[in-house]
Structure formats: structure tokens, C-alpha cells
């Protein structure tokens, strides 16, 4: 079967579809099949609750199983900045490169050791009959002083992994996906779906 992705964020939908496909799950943006939905606004400080609300709403409105995502960037040196409210703080209509520039400005003058960061992804699955579950994963690294990479966008162009000496966006998909927060959450989701007959195989 092909899952629908409950999101109006085209970049996030593409990345989530790629992560799920890497682990054998077919998923498409819901907008490929119907008109735009107005999802409930994120009002909580819980990644899981935000993702579940979107997934439940999507499943009911579309009458089909859906997968929704809530993710954020957490920076210990800026404890009151971003996290679960990343999209709300930076503005959902602001381009990814501009969001990155806001972060670069906020970290200006900080030493490399102070630029630690974690990206967290929460994926929620919901069926029209009310079944649901959530998976969550993280990736830890540092924030570079400048953006780099062409294989992906968003925070990946700023998120630097010491082990590889590159940003996530500088790694090709076969390397990048298993390392990312969304890729790791997708792997967990796929493992859970395989326990539900007919949920993975097309």
C-alpha cells in the first residue's frame, strides 16, 4: 500500500518520503490526491502530541492511513530558542536557507564547542479506525558557521557531523538517510508497521 503524508510542507514531505522509501515504505504527499487541508495549529510543547493531532486529522479527513511528522532543532547554548516550537519561532513560511541564517546570527561569536545541537523527529501513524502509534529519534552534532551541501536542504545544510567532517547535506542519500533524525524515526516506524499485516507491502 501507499501511505499519505499529512503535511503542507513540500520539503519535509519529500524528505520523509525518501526516508520511508529507503526502508521499503511507499508514501506520497496527500496533496497529490486531493485539495489542500488546513491542519490544526500546533499548540502544544509535545512533539508526539503535535504529530498525532496532524495524523489523526489527516486520517479522518482523507479516509486513509497517514503518516505525520513533528520535528525540531534543539540548541543547548540557546535554551529558549527553537526546539519543539521551531516552526513557530522561525515561521513556517520562511525558506530553509533564511531559517539557517537566523540560526547563524544567533550563534555568532560562539566557539565550536558551544555549537552543539540535536535534531529530533517524531513520526505519528494514524488509521481512520482510530489506531495510532508514534516513533521518535534524534541525531546529535554541531552547527557549522556557514551552510554547505547540495544533497538536501533545510537544517541539513548547517548540521555538521564530526565523524564525517561534513554537514548532513554534503552526504549522498545512501549515507545521509540512516544518520538523520527523520531517517532513524522512519526505520523505527517501518519496523513497527511490519507487525501490522498489509501496512508495508505495496
Which residues form the catalytic set?
A: 70
Residues forming a β-bridge with 116: 142
Q: Are 39 and 58 in contact (CB under 8 A)?
A: yes
Reference 172, options 188, 149, 155, 154; nearest CA is: 149
How many residues can be counted in the chain? Answer: 202
Reference 1, options 33, 25, 29; nearest CA is: 25
Measure the CA–CA gap between 130 and 108, rounded to whole angstroms.
Answer: 47
Q: Are 106 and 79 in contact (CB under 8 A)?
A: no
Measure the CA–CA gap between 95 and 105, rounded to whole angstroms.
Answer: 16
Amino acid at each position: 500500500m501507499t501511505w499519505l503524508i499529512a503535511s503542507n510542507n513540500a520539503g519535509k514531505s519529500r524528505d520523509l518520503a525518501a526516508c520511508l522509501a529507503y526502508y521499503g515504505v511507499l508514501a506520497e504527499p496527500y496533496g497529490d490526491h486531493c485539495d489542500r487541508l488546513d491542519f490544526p495549529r500546533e499548540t502544544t510543547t509535545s512533539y508526539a502530541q503535535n504529530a498525532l493531532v496532524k495524523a489523526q486529522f489527516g486520517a479522518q479527513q482523507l479516509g486513509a492511513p497517514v503518516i505525520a511528522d513533528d520535528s525540531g532543532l534543539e540548541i543547548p547554548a540557546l535554551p529558549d530558542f527553537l526546539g519543539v516550537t521551531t516552526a513557530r519561532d522561525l515561521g513556517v513560511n520562511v525558506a530553509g536557507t533564511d531559517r539557517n541564517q537566523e540560526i547563524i546570527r544567533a550563534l555568532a561569536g560562539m566557539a565550536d564547542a558551544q555549537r552543539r545541537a540535536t535534531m529530533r523527529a517524531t513520526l505519528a501513524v494514524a488509521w481512520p479506525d482510530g489506531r495510532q502509534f508514534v516513533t521518535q529519534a534524534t541525531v546529535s552534532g554541531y552547527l557549522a558557521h556557514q551552510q554547505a551541501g547540495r544533497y538536501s536542504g533545510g537544517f541539513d545544510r548547517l548540521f555538521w557531523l564530526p565523524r564525517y567532517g561534513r554537514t548532513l547535506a554534503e552526504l549522498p542519500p545512501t549515507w545521509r538517510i540512516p544518520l538523520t533524525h527523520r531517517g532513524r524515526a522512519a526505520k523505527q516506524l517501518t519496523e513497527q508497521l511490519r507487525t501490522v499485516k498489509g501496512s508495508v507491502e505495496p
